[in-house]
Amino acid sequence: MKHWFRLHGLAIARTLKALLRHPVSNGMNLLVIGIAAAFPLGLYMVISSVGGIAQKLPVEPQISVFLKTDAPAEAGQALLKQLQGNPDLQEVRFVPRDQALKDMQAAVGVEDLLGGLDSNPLPDAIVLKARLDAPALQLEALQRQLAGNPAVDSAQLDSAWAQRLQHLLNLGRNVLQATVVLLAAALVLLTGNAIRMQILTRHDEIEVAKLIGATDSFIRRPFFYFALSQGLLGGLIACGIVVGGIVWLNPAVADLAQAYGQQFSLRLPGPLEVGAVCAVTLLLCVLGAWLAVRKHLHKYH
């Protein structure tokens, strides 16, 4: 066991020496790994930040249909019947004008809201809640159709922008997945190539060591430590880039949100996310090392 630790200690020392022997090229490599990993992490932070407020917005599209005040009651009831049969809708609620007035009084907190008015000016309304999976186009068509109904004064498709935000988030998630896959492949190739170069430049050393009785694991070990250090440091650099970027962007983001009457800022990665990023970059770099070592070291025998 002591022997095992000693061998690994030696390998770590050799790895550090090798890193410091080419500080520029290894530093560049680290930076490239960091930048590559910063893309998906940054995108993830944006998506999870936006997703946070998006969840507070009404997500199910809702259509409010206001009937004409002079429309006959039967026309309203007929429309209600017709809508209740629509499979895209999960809830169809009739809100009589008296109820609407009461709701409004409760919301505003004024008992005698009408004051001098001699009658309730509010129309009867039908509130429709669409199913979550209802196609947006169909809902827009329904909204147009309702607006054209002679008994209807106006029909408003609410939370359309929340819906769009939701679509945008979904798109963002898809882009994130694609980015993760592409950059994962990039990291594997990057480390694999760096290690291939090292194997080439250390050809003499590997050959002699092998000839005088070095084991395969002795030869491989420094390359894996190299990959481990690259993965870990690359992950930390990625987190640094993202934190720096978010801190720099946040004032502008907050201003933009303010313009929409929202309080919003981008979230910084937490310890769990930093750990996850480092673990992933580490694993990918080690995978790259494993592939390169498998391909390029077996000729030494």
Partner 1 sequence: MIQFQQVTKRYAGGFEAVKNLSFEIQSGELLFLAGHSGAGKSTLLKLIAGIEKPTAGAVLVNNQNVARLSRASLPYVRRHFGLIFQDHKILFDRSVYENVKLPLDITGFNGMEAKRRVLAALDKVGLSGKEKLNPISLSGGEQQRLCIARAVVHRPAILLADEPTANLDRDNAHDILELFKSFHQVGVTLVISAHDETLMADYGRRILRLKNGQFTA
Interaction of residue 207 with partner 1, rule CB under 8 A: yes
Contact range with partner 1 by CB under 8 A, out of 23-31, 84-92, 183-191, 213-221: 213-221
Judged by CB under 8 A, the residue of 94, 218, 264, 300 near partner 1 is 218
Interaction of residue 200 with partner 1, rule CB under 8 A: no
Q: Which residues contact 85 (CB under 8 A, 6 or more apart)?
A: none
Among the listed residues 64, 89, 67, 91, the one whose alpha carbon sits nearest the alpha carbon of residue 78 = 67
Contact range with partner 1 by CB under 8 A, out of 44-52, 61-69, 165-173, 214-222: 214-222
Contact range with partner 1 by CB under 8 A, out of 76-84, 187-195, 202-210, 269-277: 202-210
Judged by CB under 8 A, the residue of 209, 257, 276, 291 near partner 1 is 209
Question: Pattern of binders to partner 1 over 4-23, x per CB under 8 A?
Answer: --xx-xx-------------
C-alpha pair distances (Å), 30 with each of 58, 226, 250: 44, 11, 26
Interaction of residue 215 with partner 1, rule CB under 8 A: yes
Q: How far is CA 203 from the centre of its chain?
A: 44
User: CB 143: neighbour CB atoms within 10 A?
Assistant: 21
Q: Which residue has the tokens 């997945």?
A: 177
Residue 17 CB, nearest approach to partner 1 (Å): 9
Asked if 185 and 285 count as a contact pair (C-beta separation under 8 A), the reply is no
Interaction of residue 216 with partner 1, rule CB under 8 A: yes
Measured from the CB atom, the residue of 117 and 212 that comes closer to partner 1 is 212
User: CB 196: neighbour CB atoms within 10 A?
Assistant: 18
Q: Please count the residues of this chain forming the interface with partner 1, following the rule CB under 8 A.
A: 19
Judged by CB under 8 A, the residue of 171, 211, 256, 279 near partner 1 is 211
In whole angstroms, what is the distance from residue 120 CA to residue 146 CA? 24
Q: Which residues contact 36 (CB under 8 A, 6 or more apart)?
A: 183, 186, 187, 190, 234, 238
Q: Is the dihedral of CA 102, 104, 106, 111 positive or negative?
A: negative
Judged by CB under 8 A, the residue of 161, 171, 205, 295 near partner 1 is 205
Measured from the CB atom, the residue of 13 and 279 that comes closer to partner 1 is 13
Interaction of residue 204 with partner 1, rule CB under 8 A: yes
Binding site for partner 1 (CB under 8 A): 3, 6-7, 9-10, 204-205, 207-216, 218, 301
